[in-house]
Amino acid sequence: PLCVEEFDLSDRNFKPCPCGYQICQFCFNNIRTNLNGLCPACRRPYDDSTIEYKVISPDEYKAEAQKKTRLNAERRQREAQKREIEAQNRKHLAGLRVIQKNLVYVVGLNPRIKEEDLLQTLRGEQYFGQYGKIVKIVVNKRTAQDPAMTSYNDSGKNSGGMGVYVTFARKQDAETCIAAVDGSVNGDRVLRATYGTTKYCSAYLRNETCPNKNCMFLHEPGEEAESFSRLDLSS
């Protein structure tokens, strides 16, 4: 069709050519005034004597407006129901932790670095920067009591050290980092490295657009096989 706008009631009752090809009155006037004056379908010249136009009564306009209002209300209701169903389907995700393949968690590290230089140093080529571009580093000096991530020295005693979360730009860089760091020795400590876990963004769970451009939480479904509840993690 020539017209890109949806026909209103008056346009639907306007037939400028005997061949039956319909255009809106705006396009009709443009063709006759500025173009060749021919029907776009059959190439017949437009003739005022063959134009059919039904005058719309006030009652018909009123009925059309009511119909449009009803259809819009039904559309909004369907969209609201769809959002509600999607939000309900995401509720069970609220308590899940999902393995994030570009996030590395390292424990046992205890570099002798000034506090103000710590993050910059960890980003450098001597530390995690050698494995790829880093998006974010977070240091947790109170490491979680996770037996799978506890660092031990040769005597079997807990070696302590800080926990470091490193978010890489690429998943393969995180994989390379884990392969290099896990089981390596830093001074008298054995480092442990694994993929970190994250949770779903609260805006995503509400089926809303997240307003935080720097949000580090998940905004898309994670792999079911890589999702764990708090109970799974504690057992």
DSSP annotation of 200 reads B
- Band of pLDDT at residue 184, cut at 50, 70 and 90: very high
Secondary structure (3-state) at 193 = strand
Whether residue 62 lies inside any domain: the answer is no
Residue 107 has pLDDT above 80, yes or no: yes
Decide if 104 contacts 166 (C-beta within 8 A).
yes
Residues 71, 154: one domain?
no
Residues 125, 230: one domain?
yes
Residue 112 has pLDDT above 80, yes or no: no
How far apart are the C-alpha atoms of 235 and 232, rounded to whole Å? 5
Model pLDDT, residue 189: 85
Residues 203, 188: one domain?
yes
Domain count, the chain: 3
Whether residue 181 lies inside any domain: the answer is yes
Joined together, the tokens standing for residue 54 give: 């039904």
Residues 78, 101: one domain?
no
Higher-pLDDT residue of 219, 144: 219
Reported as a single tens digit per residue, the pLDDT across 68-106 is: 888 889 999 888 888 777 777 777 788 788 888 899 999
Residue 32 has pLDDT above 50, yes or no: yes
CATH assignment of the domain containing 198: 3.30.70.330
Residues 18, 37: one domain?
yes
Mean pLDDT of 194-208: 88
Neighbours of 172 (CB within 10 A): 12
- Work out whether strand 189-190 and strand 185-186 pair parallel, antiparallel, or are unpaired: antiparallel
Model pLDDT, residue 108: 87
Residues 119, 226: one domain?
yes
Secondary structure (3-state) at 119 = helix
Least confident among 40-44, 158-162, 212-216: 158-162
CATH assignment of the domain containing 6: 3.30.40.10
pTM: 0.52
Mean pLDDT of 22-33: 88
Share of the chain above pLDDT 70, in %: 84
- Band of pLDDT at residue 227, cut at 50, 70 and 90: low
- How many residues are there in the chain? 235
Residues 10, 77: one domain?
no
Model pLDDT, residue 5: 74
In whole numbers, what is the pLDDT of the chain averaged over residues? Answer: 81
Whether residue 61 lies inside any domain: the answer is no
Domain that holds residue 190: 96-234
Residue with the two structure tokens 């079997």: 156
Mean pLDDT of 10-31: 88
Residues 28, 72: one domain?
no
Decide if 41 contacts 17 (C-beta within 8 A).
yes
**Amino acid at site 135:** V
Whether residue 198 lies inside any domain: the answer is yes
Residues 124, 221: one domain?
yes
Residues 190, 212: one domain?
yes
Residue 192 has pLDDT above 90, yes or no: yes
Model pLDDT, residue 170: 94
Model pLDDT, residue 229: 56
Residues 211, 108: one domain?
yes
